[in-house]
Amino acid sequence: MRKSRSSENFSNKTALDKGGIDFIELEEIVRYSETDQMGVAHNKNYFEWFEIGRTEYCRQKNIPYKDIEAQGFYLVVVEAFCKYKKPLRYDQKFIIRVFLQSITPKKVEFTYELVTKEEKRMIASGYTIHIVTNSKAKTCSLPPHIINSLKGAQT
């Protein structure tokens, strides 16, 4: 029940259908060490690729994630989800798309799509939800200038 409903909703739309929402893209390539004995990229690596995508999203919005941490704010992952559609193989290039799905001072959600380099066919999609904490792991609020930077693409 639970999963099929959310999964359906989640996969019904591709990035380009989403209309209003802007996104960034970057290219990655599958490392040998990221394959497993099935001959394809192991499922845990997708969450690392999501994270690389977030890093690049922040950089392209002129607020590198390391600067966010340097200012004392941490985007701690509280939920992570991935739906795997097509396998990825060693040395295969692919595109990571990152969307800022929603942002409030206390909560940020990114969604992701991995697509093939040439035909942009869906490889995987997913999301991560983050709460905001300070360096002592206490929840706190993102200041407006960081929120505005991150939202930059959506204005």
Residue among 13, 16, 62, 66 that touches a copy of itself (CB under 8 A): 66
Q: Look up residue 12 and give its amino acid.
A: N
> Could you give the CA distance from residue 104 to residue 84 in angstroms, rounded to a whole number?
28
Q: Look up residue 114 and give its amino acid.
A: L
Per-residue binding letters, 120-149, with a copy of itself (x by CB under 8 A): -------xxx-------x------------
Look up residue 86 and give its DSSP letter. S
Residue among 13, 48, 105, 154 that touches a copy of itself (CB under 8 A): 48
Look up residue 32 and give its DSSP letter. G
Give yes or no for residue 51 binding a copy of itself (CB under 8 A): yes
| C-alpha distances out from residue 24 to 53, 59, 84, Å | 8, 10, 20
Give the footprint of a copy of itself on this chain (CB under 8 A): 2-3, 5-7, 9-10, 31-33, 35-40, 42-45, 47-48, 51-52, 55, 64-66, 74, 76-85, 87, 90-91, 109, 127-129, 137
